[in-house]
Every structure is written in C-alpha cells, then in structure tokens.
Amino acid sequence: MSPTEAMFVLFESPSHPMHVATLTLFDPPTGTAPGAHAADMVGNLRAHTEAAELFRKRPFHPLHGYPWWRLEKHIDLGYHVRHTAVPGDGEMADLLSLVSQMHSMPLDPQHPMWEMHVIEGLTDGRTAVYTKFHLSLTDGASGMRLLHRTLSVDPDVRDCPAPWSPSVAAPTRHPSVDPRGVLRSGLNITGELVSAVPTLVRAGYHGLTEEQLTLPLQSPPTIFNAPTGRARKVAARSWPLNRLRRLAACTGAPLEVVVLTMCAGALRAYLLEQYALPEAPLTAMLPVPLDLGEVPTLGPGGNRGIGAMVVSLATDEDDPLTRLARIADSVAHTSGIVAALSRTQFQLVSALTLSPIMLDPVRRVLDDIPPPFNVMISYTPGPTRPRYWNGAHLDAVYPIPTLARGQALSITIASRSGQLHVAVVGDRTAVPHLHRIIGHLDTALTNLDAAAHTAQ
C-alpha cells in the first residue's frame, strides 16, 4: 500500500469516513415495463462476476501497524451491488435524503471498500445509481472516468461492462522498493522543491503587490470551517449549460469563472442569511488534474494525479460583475503560477497548501491559526455526446465528495451533454438548511445574468 493510500486508511474514523461517491440517474430503455429497469440493471451487474484487482482488495493491519492490501480471490456481488427503493413520495428530495444517509455511513474494511446501490421508485421513472469508493482505491475524478468507461454512445448496445470488469479497470502498478531508487527519488523531489522557490517568490511578490494572489492560511474563519461529524446532507440540481456559456460570452470570462462566481454569490447570500458573512473574502480550493499529455490509467498508482490551488471568491463584494472580475483576476494569477511549475513542483506545493488540514486538531487549540481555505469547489467537464448503459440513457451525474477535517462544505460540479450538474455536500449540523444553497445558486446566476445584460 502506498503512503497516500495508507493515509486515507489511517485517517478514517467513525466521524470522518474517507470515501467519495457518484450519483447517476438513468432513463430506462424504451419499452421497459414500469418498475422493472432497476431489477434488470441489478441482475446485469451481478452477472459480471470477474473483477479487476482494484475491486478485490481490502486493507488489513498486520500486528496493528502500517496497513497492507489483502487481495480477495472473489467478491460477493450480492453484498457490493444492492437494490433499494426511494422512500416517501419518490421525489428528488426523497432520493437526496436517502443518499445523504448512505453517504454518512463508512465502508466496511472487512470487504473491498466499494458499494453500488441501484435505486428504484422515483416518480419520474428514472433509475438512480449511487456508487461509493474509498479514497484509498481511487479519487473522485478517476472514479467518474471509470464509470464513464462502462457507457456506450450506442443506445442499442446491450453488453456494457460493469465498473469492476477487467476491461474497464486497468491493472495496478506495483512501484519499485529498491532503496537506491527511493533515495534518488527523495533527492530529486528535494531539488524540485528548491528550484520552485524562485518562481514562487517572483509570482508571490507580483501577486501580493497587485492584490491578486490568494495564499493558504489567508482565509477568514467561517461556519464552513467548524468541526464535523459523520452525518452528511446532500443537495443537488442541474442547469442548462448553454445559459452559462451565453453568460461567459457576454462577460468575456471563462466558463469556469462564471461557475465560480455563481457559487460565490450563493455562499455570500447563504452566510448573510445566517448572519455569518465575514468581512474578508472567502477562499476556495480548486482541485487541478495533472494531465500532462499522458495516457490516463485507472487504478492505484495510475491516476493522473490531483494538485490544488486556492483562489479568492470575492464574497465581500456585493456587485456581481465586480465579483466576477475579481475572481477572474485571482484565477488567472494563480493559474500563471501553476503553469510556471513542473508537475512534481506543483504536487509538492499542493501538499504544502493542503497540509494544514492534517493539523486541524492543532487549529482547534490554537484559534488564531486560520483555515487553509473555506470551501472546496471542483469542476469536471464530462462527455458532450449522450451515453447509455445497456440502452438506459444517462440523464444526470452528480459527484459527491468526502469532507476533510475542519471543512464542513464542498461543492462539486460536472457538465454532461448540455447540462451543468451541481452537488452540495455539507455536515448536517455545521451547515444548517443546506438545501437553501441550491436556491441561492439559481438566484446568483439570475443576478449575474441581469447585471451582465444591463451593463451591455
């Protein structure tokens, strides 16, 4: 088990489950009997009995020490693939309530740490699938790519693979344990970090003098940085992507900046409601995929990797267009720093950015230490063409992240076939009335749209 994988196993506790998930919604194939699609999907999934190594391994602790992987010969698909129903009236709110409960429950380390729940009973006839992976197996972005590889562009295909099929999940790479190689790697990493210092100093000087650079530990204390428990709340909604693209064209801002401005407006409105908006602007940590032209490989050791950058959300600004301009400046300047670093340098800087999260217990004692960032916002572009699984049309995709210690709110965004899908995940106690953030997202988009057209 690699140090990163071991970290996710060792840092898990009953109050801090370390898993990510994806909620997908499918329209049943034409001609399917009402209520029959979920059962058909479960049967088809369980028929894929051959599983890749990624889905057959579970952690174990020899002598209660450093965790190792134990590879199972077979997996119990009756345990991992579950069939359930939406409670209540079968509305979207009922589904999200069920998903909130599922996302609050940790995975069992006595089994390979993944689950797939096929959910029937939505009044609109769609079938929901909630898939959960432990972070020691894969990160959220890689898990989504894995799920997408099971889909087809042809609605007539009826032999789509399961996510655990060997044809979908690449074999695990086993890193070398040659001590000389480890020493060389350590020296190379040290050299990369040292060589990054001049770039960071130059960029930091210009960024600070122009008030465009957002540094870790500059973030104001907020209710989003309170201690968290195990209980989660999930809210989600979709918007037409063309609406945001028109707004991006109108303002001259990148689509990602428009999305960030939408989120910033919603967080500002929510905190004003709670009488908890700080005078200083909130900051967001943006995961950055490290895709440097390599062939993507799924599975441990084959992920393309994730770095992190911190940007200002300008939540101290009331005017939507001014807020958008400030966010665009922050993103552009921080992106310039990222572009000036090598892959290894950026990974090291990202680790330093995120390291204060590991010191959350210390921050609880030393109240003057600010959080490294206020909220995580991740944006993952998805496929532009329609996708199908055995004829069922993929209608919506909502990535659902984990919550780090001291981080009580996370927003994940995915685009797919003309739709922008947004999921908001929060600690049930620390972030009350979380569903109102979804309403504020719509209001923020409307206000930004109105301001942009008024300015023309």
Cβ(421)–Cβ(235) under 8 Å?
Answer: no
Q: 95 in helix, strand or coil?
A: helix
By C-alpha distance, which of 7, 298, 319, 371 is closest to 148?
A: 298
Partnered with residue 69 across adjacent β-strands are 59
C-alpha dihedral (297, 300, 306, 307), degrees to nearest 10: -130
CA distance 366 to 361: 9
pLDDT tens profile 262-321: 999 999 999 999 999 999 999 998 876 544 333 332 333 344 445 678 899 999 999 999
Give the chain's length.
456
**Domain boundaries defined on the chain:** 183-230+246-375+430-455
Strands laid side by side in the 306-312 sheet: 232-240, 419-427, 409-416, 375-381, 283-289, 306-312
Helices (H), ranges, 301-380? 320-340, 343-358, 360-365
For residue 344, what pLDDT band results from cuts at 50, 70 and 90? low
Task: Give 249's contacts (C-beta < 8 A, 6+ positions apart).
Answer: none
Task: Tell me how far apart the 2 most distant CA atoms of the chain are, in Å.
Answer: 68
Q: Which of 151-160, 185-194, 348-357, 371-380 has the lowest mean pLDDT?
A: 185-194
From the number of C-beta atoms within 10 Å of its C-beta (0-12, 13-18, 19+), residue 171 rates as middle
pLDDT class of 444 with cuts at 50, 70, 90: very high
Report pLDDT for 292.
32
pLDDT (0 to 100) of residue 141 = 82
User: For residue 67, what are its two tokens?
Assistant: 């965790």
Q: What integer pLDDT is reported at residue 220 of this predicted model?
A: 93
Which amino acid belongs to residue 189?
I
Residue bearing tokens 């943006």: 286
Number of other CB atoms surrounding residue 274 within 10 Å = 14
For residue 259, the cross-strand partners are none
Residue appearing with tokens 């210690």? 405
Query: Cα–Cα distances in Å, from 357 out to 38, 101, 361, 427?
Result: 40, 25, 9, 16
Mean per-residue pLDDT for 97-118?
97
Residue 211 CA to its chain's centroid (Å): 29
Per-residue pLDDT, 300: 37
